[in-house]
Structure 1
């Protein structure tokens, strides 16, 4: 019996020793998360200005583009985001600041001590000034199509040390959008529906060359703005007479206002438009409709529902 007790004590001592030394069961538990992120660094990514090299995973990111802010939180880089522009209102946990994304202030940005700033293409001058004070900068322009949106998610993943998660998110968003399009097409067949997308009550619209136009194109919709004489770089201002004459099957409104749909129907002669008389005027969430982040899936669902309803009425 004494020998049995000595054996049990020896085994217990051995187990405690292995545990204290970090045996297989505790492997990696005390590792600093930042060390894990830095494992793939330095890393070089490509933005609108060329190649950008980051020596280590950024811990204090300033995002001055709402779409980028949504992407960063979606790829689990939210804890690394220190500040965002005043229009980055999603998700709710995004920090609130008064930084401007349209007219960035280098002085205001630097106060946040960033180790990465993400800007839009039109802020190239600000980017140069930040580089002069050794602040790494990524310039990510508005995505021209869905593929560019997916690529930007992956680029942000590589730049922040979240490449695997970013790849998963990009793949999921792409597969979700593809599935929505395929299901809609299978249900209604080939579509010959026309549409008018209105950016504001001033009747500015979009052509099929824009990001939002590319989303509609996936559903086979025909854009009435494509036939206007001056497409204005993808964002033409249409006349009331032109829209009435084109008589779109669907109208999408992408600006705030609880009475936007009713106001549209009250415009002179607009009650003769099929979309208006048939109740096929859709009020989109203006943020979702203007951003190329992960919520493009929500946009695709809204378009799908509108297309399906209009096709079934026809």
Structure 2
């Protein structure tokens, strides 16, 4: 995840209303098998060719999901920020400023997006390209539903179900083993300008599983869940835990935090409660979500 200039595009869209998965198959009359499936996405009921062979993903999270459910061989191109897994066919396609002509050049029979920027959904639908709009999840169940949608759309329903069940199990086990977080305060850092995420955001709800108190909540005015905190406010709040989701974008780490003016006296710094996260894992709502949950759980157990 980039600093806050991309925050709105990647994270704040989590507030967008989401339609759950409830697709079904449409069979052509006179044939024995279904030639299309209908997937209920945020842009309505989308008819997709059964087992599409040329999938384009303009969302890093959905790229991860497609490969995690075994649909990687069907993916012909992904956007420039889809950096995981390493073998994803990364291209110059932009998920932030999508260009319909550039996407069409890949001759897709399915395009997956997490936001309808530049009117990409309508532009592709006009030329008969099926598009699944699967917005950033606002809740865990929505993240699971989207995985189900992608499984249904690509012919990997069983694999998607297995992935979701595995994620649920790992997350539940981690939370159960780290339930002593109630009362601990934390600060989730999105960039080195002190932008953070409140409890009403997706990532804030993940922290909420552990009963942690988010110091950004009281500072949220009209920022849509992503306020910029002042240094003075942060020092006054003195959080027990600091989670850095800007280790890659902004080169932040525990040592750098300790060198910030006044920060060496913070509880999190003195008690070794500064946690270095993988920016991408911390900003996505897909298959690697259990990794974020584990990092939080480990930190809670360590501080307690």
The TM-score normalised by the length of structure 2 is 0.86
Q: Which residue of 2 aligns with 1:204?
A: 195
User: 2:144 & 2:280 partners in 1: Cα distance?
Assistant: 18
Deviates more, 1:60-69 or 1:91-100: 91-100
**Structure of larger gyration radius:** 1
Matched, 1:216 2:179: no
Matched, 1:288 2:276: no
User: 1:229 & 1:50 partners in 2: Cα distance?
Assistant: 32
| TM-superposition CA deviations, 1:85-130 (whole Å, max 9, x none) | 0111111221121111100111110110000001122426111000
Matched, 1:275 2:258: no
User: 1:190 & 1:226 partners in 2: Cα distance?
Assistant: 17
Deviates more, 1:150-159 or 1:38-47: 38-47
Displacement of 1:258 in angstroms is 4.8
Superposition pairs of residues 81-230 of structure 1, within 5 angstroms: 81-123=75-117, 125-185=119-179, 189=180, 191-230=182-221
SS of 1:42's partner is: strand
Distance 1:62 1:276, change over 3 A: same
User: 1:107 & 1:217 partners in 2: Cα distance?
Assistant: 42
Displacement of 1:252 in angstroms is 0.4
Work out whether residues 46 and 52 of structure 1, in 8 Å CA contact, stay in contact via their aligned partners in 2: yes
SS of 2:111's partner is: strand
Work out whether residues 207 and 225 of structure 1, in 8 Å CA contact, stay in contact via their aligned partners in 2: yes
> Which runs of 5 or more residues in structure 1 are unaligned?
1-37
Distance 1:163 1:40, change over 3 A: farther
SS of 1:267's partner is: coil
Q: Which residue of 2 aligns with 1:14?
A: none
Superposition pairs of residues 36-75 of structure 1, within 5 angstroms: 39-75=33-69
Displacement of 1:161 in angstroms is 1.0
Say which of 221, 224, 231 aligns to 1:240: 231
Work out whether residues 225 and 231 of structure 1, in 8 Å CA contact, stay in contact via their aligned partners in 2: no
Q: Which residue of 2 aligns with 1:32?
A: none
Higher relative contact order at CA 8 Å, sep ≥6: structure 1 or structure 2?
2
SS of 2:224's partner is: helix
Matched, 1:264 2:257: yes
Q: Which residue of 2 aligns with 1:31?
A: none
SS of 1:238's partner is: coil
Displacement of 1:164 in angstroms is 1.2
Q: Which residue of 2 aligns with 1:297?
A: 290
| TM-superposition CA deviations, 1:192-241 (whole Å, max 9, x none) | 10000000001000001111111100011110011115151111111111
| TM-superposition CA deviations, 1:37-96 (whole Å, max 9, x none) | x94542211111211112432110000000000000111111110000011111122112
Question: How many residues matched?
Answer: 271
Work out whether residues 239 and 266 of structure 2, in 8 Å CA contact, stay in contact via their aligned partners in 1: yes
User: 1:167 & 1:137 partners in 2: Cα distance?
Assistant: 22
Distance 1:310 1:231, change over 3 A: farther
Structure with the higher helix share, 1 or 2: 1
Across the aligned residues of Structure 1 and Structure 2, the Cα RMSD in angstroms comes to 1.5
